[in-house]
A = this chain, B = another copy of it.
Amino acid sequence: MKKLIQEQIQSFQESNENKGRLLISCPDQPGIVSHVSDFLFKHGANIIESSQYSTNPEGGMFFIRIEFDCPKLRSKEVELREQFHMIAEKFSMDWKFTFGYEVKKTAIFVSKELYCLRELLWEWQNGDLMTDIALVVSNHEDSRNIVESLGIPFYHIPASKENRAEVEERQLQLLKEYNVDVIVLARYMQILTPTFVEAHPFKIINIHHSFLPAFVGARPYERAYDRGVKLIGATSHYVTNDLDEGPIIEQDIMRVDHRDNVKDMKKIGRSVERSVLARAVKWHLEDRVIVHENKTIVF
């Protein structure tokens, strides 16, 4: 099974080998688009998708995401990076290129509830999440069969308040070993330490089972039920060291009514959680998300 997916990733790499992306954040001023598009044109790149946003045309920030097609891209990678420096300096840019022949490596962390993991694996099998799922880490054994049946390495690391330091040390070692780019918390019910979080700025994606900022923290469905809300929601966000306060990537809701008890709400909520997390991960993998002042720009 793993072999099949590897073939799929390889075929994707081949069909995207001349596709590139350029992401830029910088202070707004006239001439940015002109200089950048001129640069790409002169290097033989054709812009196929472009999205931009200015917080405020006068004195604000400017953000752009460009997808381009460039013959023999792999051979030009070094040149593009090197020569873009001049423009980047002129406009004080934060910037990055990504290339279609590179595929991000993802680690999924999960506990006992598997529906989010299943959704991600399913989307991945369908070719809708273009990533290499490098490993799955869990504090329980429940997901081992599903994961290993797809040929993905599975690591069971029991976790508790007492052994948090050792657990995270082991996790960090694995993430390094597998050279992981993104960590998805697919209903991983353990708090991460500041050390762990700070090592992965805007690289950890969580799914919270409420419409944030309503019901921050534990037991959101129970509290939604007690409050008598008529809609329940889910929120996918980057993890920061403020609990459930990181930049929101995506949210959605479903309708409930007085007949729905906590168990019903959990069932209804599952389908929202699944789709919200899958969208957020997809957008991250496609380099569509830029973080600015604890908010996301999603292109």
Contacts and interface: CB of A to CB of B under 8 A. Distances in A.
A213 B227 contact: yes
Contacts of A211: 211, 214, 231
A228 B237 CA distance: 11
A49 B53 CA distance: 6
Contact of A46 (B40, B57, B252): B57
A232 to B, nearest CB: 10
Nearest to A230: B251
A212 B229 contact: yes
Contacts of A128: 267
B267 A275 contact: no
A155 interface: no
Q: Which of A28, A53, A215, A231 has the most CB of B within 10 A?
A: A231
Nearest to A28: B46
A47 B28 CA distance: 10
Contact of A296 (B41, B47, B115, B258): B258
B214 A231 contact: no
A259 interface: yes
Q: Which of A33, A57, A128, A213 has the most CB of B within 10 A?
A: A33
A54 interface: yes
Copies of chain A in the complex = 4
Interface in A5-38: 28-34, 37-38
A29 B230 CA distance: 28
Nearest to A39: B34
Given A52-B47, A52-B50, A54-B48, A227 B214 contact: no
Contacts of A257: 298
Interface string A261-280: 00000010001000100000
A231 B247 contact: no
B41 A30 contact: yes
A253 interface: yes
A115 B123 CA distance: 10
B215 A230 contact: no
Interface string A132-166: 00000000000000000000000000000000000
Interface in A33-72: 33-34, 37-38, 40-41, 44-54, 57, 69
A41 B212 CA distance: 42
Nearest to A231: B251
14 contacts: A30-B45, A31-B41, A37-B38, A48-B57, A50-B50, A50-B52, A115-B122, A212-B227, A228-B247, A230-B248, A230-B251, A231-B252, A258-B297, A258-B298
Q: Which 8 A-B pairs have the closest CB atoms?
A: A228-B295, A34-B41, A214-B214, A34-B37, A30-B46, A33-B37, A258-B297, A230-B251
